[in-house]
Amino acid sequence: MRIKNAATLAFIAGTLFAPLFAQTPSQEAQTQNAGRSEAADPFRVTVQVTATRFGEPIQQVPGAISVVTGDEIRARGAKDLRTALALLGGVSVAPGGDAGPAAAVPGLLGVREVDDLLLLIDGIPAGGAFIPQIEAISLNNVERIEVMRGAAPVYFGTTAFAGTINVIHYAAGQSERASSVRYGSRNSWGVSFAEVLSAGRVQHSLSGEVSDDTFSGKRVGVRRAQADYRLATNLGRGKITADFDLLALRQKPNSPLPIDETTGQFTTLLPVDFNQNPANARLDTDRYKFVLGYALPLSFGRWGTSIAYTDTQTDSVRGFLDIGDTPQPRTTKTNADLESFKQALHLQEMFLDSNLTTVLSPHLDLTTGVNVLVGRADADSLRYGLRLPLDGISQAPDIESVNPKGTVSLDDHRRFLGLYAQSRYHLSTNASLLAGLRWNLTHETRDETRVNRQGVATATPANQDVDRLSGSLGAQWKAWQFSKGPINSLTLHGSVGNTFQPAQIDFNPNPEAKPEDGGLLKPETQRSFVTGVKAEAMDGKAEFDIDAFFVDFYNQPVEATSGGVAVLRSIGKQRYKGIDIEGAFRLAEDWTLKANLTMSNAQYLDYITNIDGTPTQLAGNRQVLTPSFRGSAGLIYAPKRGFGASLTTSWTGQHWLNSLNTFSAPAYAVIDASASYRFERFTLSISGNNLGNRRDAVQLSELGEEQFYRLNARTVDATLSWHFR
């Protein structure tokens, strides 16, 4: 389906089928409890909905939670997840990656694996059964983004270690109520809108966007058409809600680049934006999501049920250099192996949750529930063997012009069933406990069949059942509270968590090591401890949050050799510890200063893995791309009328580019800025990202061995917005 046709169908579907669809109950709770940005400070939200079902203020929840509002995102001209989350403490986002230039890999608690976090879009897991679908995020009509660092809440299951990102859009009957036209670098453009169709007894709203962004380098770009229709209305004593989202994404993927093993720097044989993909490379995704729910207030609490179904079809043609099989020394005449493939990947996910939140006494709240997340992945791949000269000029041919060297068929089913309870006990008006417990029953079956060029088939079926408890326990104490004075309130908090998750599937059809004893890898396990201080000062003009974290990961997959054959073992141990400092200061009316600093140490504990065929102990070494210091600062001036501006700088300290810690990369800073003028009904703005044009390594590829994706080149965009209200 062409992208223009997809956009047309999205809007027609939203109009024709409006009476059938409604918004999710979780979104309804978000609207009621967390609410809109406060009129006095549009960059501040005091209530969260991610950590608990109780819709409690951030200051009263044990744990490290940060929020960025949609108003701030728009004021800073942020158009991707990196810029949107740039001023949140303990968060760093690498744009792009193996999922294409529209994707990103967030880092929380120093962890830089995309599968180690839970992504929620309006309270519904997006790719929760397999890999978070960051590319499905739309910042159009965003109300706020909540980020919780540490183990996921018990009512979302076992699919997150490092934290949870919840992207929350305006609910039915509410919206940004604006449209915009954007034009920028390399002829990139975009059109978006968000409008309330009705705010009466039947509430419904519609938002959508169409964009075409071109990146530096040849054959790299993203075309997106996305629409979201929402409706909510009363049914009996409760409210029925639903959400229908359509996405058509057409990506021309970029490539990671290898590091020269003699210099520890990017190879000089290939230009900065060299594209190793075949001539017909593509990454085309069609995705739709339907959510239906019902929320019923009761005399003793609230009952809510929601069911969501997501269908994602991705057709791709990709190619990655096989550095391990490329002979040394490498020169412009070297013919490198290029592992190429054509793949049709179909992901289906169903999420069902039913819960009851009750107030058992003035001191005790309780949420109990059951949910199930079911996922199915079908990947059919054709493998091709190509060669690519490392002269920086040659291009891999269209793979349709060569014969495949084999096929791979992968069928994986995952089911996460859980019974959970989360309770808040108020010890006093200033102290409380928050405890959550979940009984997990997980099941996975996998069938993989490989057929080589001679027609010989090899089947490797596997299955695994894991029944295990997970949970968390936290406490908070408001140790200081005064209406006047330099420090208005001071809250101490601490929490411990224990959870697990199945090993990642990267859907790479190329041969790779298998679990040593057959079957599936053991689930990865996490134990965490987070403690900190939250404070408000200067009569609410300033606030800061200091969090210390200590996280151990167990059963990490490592490569070993058994009987001369490469195998995987679930024996690796890693440790992440550090301190996140985050603060905001309202200098004057319409002026906000925000800053954060992360001091961390991400190390291997007991981690024996094969490097160049030799078992190597990495214990004590720092992990790749995890600096000891990272921080950002931003100044925002956003009046209701007239001139506005923002300046944001993000700094990444010195870090390692290999696990042996022999190749280091220097510190660097990324600068983003925006300027705007707000009329009564129109806003004209200009925003620039990565103004210093830094091209540092930001993400290690899982598919391209020993290769890194670079930071995107500088972009400048001009936007004209029309405000309906």
Structure tokens, 216: 């530096």
CA distances, 122 to each of 138, 284, 288, 291, 442 (Å): 11, 24, 14, 10, 24
Q: Check residue 163 and give its pLDDT.
A: 85
Q: Check residue 204 and give its pLDDT.
A: 93
Confidence tier at 18 by pLDDT (50, 70, 90): very low
Among 318-327, 356-365, 611-620, the least confident range:
318-327
At position 118, the amino acid (one-letter code) is L
Q: Check residue 271 and give its pLDDT.
A: 93
Q: What pTM does this model have?
A: 0.91
At position 125, the amino acid (one-letter code) is P
Confidence tier at 3 by pLDDT (50, 70, 90): very low
Structural domain that includes position 560: 3-723
Q: Check residue 62 and give its pLDDT.
A: 78
Instruction: Flag whether pLDDT at 605 surpasses 70.
Output: yes
For residue 100, the SS3 value is coil
> Which residues have a Cβ under 8 Å from the Cβ of 154 and sit 6 or more positions away?
418, 420, 421, 422, 436, 437, 438, 470, 471, 472
More confident of the two residues 658 and 62 = 658
At position 552, the amino acid (one-letter code) is D
For residue 167, the SS3 value is strand
Confidence tier at 36 by pLDDT (50, 70, 90): very low
For residue 22, the SS3 value is coil
Q: Check residue 324 and give its pLDDT.
A: 77
What are the helix and strand counts (H, E) for the chain? 4, 37
Instruction: Provide mean pLDDT across the span 577-603.
Output: 94
> Model confidence over 137-187: pLDDT tens digits?
999 999 999 998 887 778 887 666 778 899 999 999 999 999 999 999 999
At position 669, the amino acid (one-letter code) is A
Q: Check residue 2 and give its pLDDT.
A: 43
Confidence tier at 46 by pLDDT (50, 70, 90): low
Structure tokens, 312: 């994602």
Q: Check residue 413 and give its pLDDT.
A: 97
Confidence tier at 329 by pLDDT (50, 70, 90): confident
More confident of the two residues 5 and 686 = 686
Instruction: Flag whether pLDDT at 370 surpasses 80.
Output: yes
Backbone torsion region of residue 692, taken as left when φ is above 0, otherwise alpha when ψ lies between -120 and 50, otherwise beta: alpha
Instruction: Flag whether pLDDT at 22 surpasses 50.
Output: no
Instruction: Provide mean pLDDT across the span 601-606.
Output: 94
Instruction: Provide mean pLDDT across the span 40-65.
Output: 69
Burial of residue 590 (number of CB atoms within 10 Å: 0-12, 13-18, 19+): middle
Confidence tier at 6 by pLDDT (50, 70, 90): very low
Instruction: Flag whether pLDDT at 725 surpasses 80.
Output: no
How far, in Å, CA of 495 to CA of 65, rounded? 12
Q: What is the 3-state secondary structure (H, E, C) of 289-308?
A: EEEEEEEEEECCEEEEEEEE
Instruction: Flag whether pLDDT at 21 surpasses 80.
Output: no
Average pLDDT, the chain: 88
Confidence tier at 54 by pLDDT (50, 70, 90): low
Assess contact for 528 and 151: CB atoms under 8 A: yes
Instruction: Provide mean pLDDT across the span 585-596.
Output: 93
Structure tokens, 252: 């021309």
* Domain count within the chain: 1
CA distances, 149 to each of 162, 163, 360, 464, 544 (Å): 6, 4, 29, 29, 16
Confidence tier at 645 by pLDDT (50, 70, 90): very high
> Model confidence over 666-683: pLDDT tens digits?
999 999 999 999 999 999
Instruction: Provide mean pLDDT across the span 340-347.
Output: 97
Q: Check residue 658 and give its pLDDT.
A: 92
Instruction: Flag whether pLDDT at 606 surpasses 70.
Output: yes
Nearest to 258 by CA among 341, 333, 325: 325
Q: Check residue 14 and give its pLDDT.
A: 37
> Model confidence over 537-578: pLDDT tens digits?
888 889 999 999 999 999 999 998 887 888 999 999 999 999
Instruction: Flag whether pLDDT at 42 surpasses 90.
Output: no
> Model confidence over 93-104: pLDDT tens digits?
999 999 999 999
Q: What is the 3-state secondary structure (H, E, C) of 663-709?
A: CEECCEEEEEEEEEEECCCEEEEEEEECCCCCCCEEEECCCCCCEEE
Instruction: Provide mean pLDDT across the span 52-65.
Output: 71
Confidence tier at 327 by pLDDT (50, 70, 90): confident
CA distances, 256 to each of 145, 172, 276, 414 (Å): 29, 41, 8, 30
> Model confidence over 222-259: pLDDT tens digits?
999 999 999 999 999 999 999 999 999 999 999 999 98
> Model confidence over 481-538: pLDDT tens digits?
887 778 888 999 999 989 888 888 889 998 888 888 888 999 999 899 999 999 998 8
Q: Check residue 485 and give its pLDDT.
A: 73
Here the CATH number for the domain that contains residue 276 is: 2.40.170.20
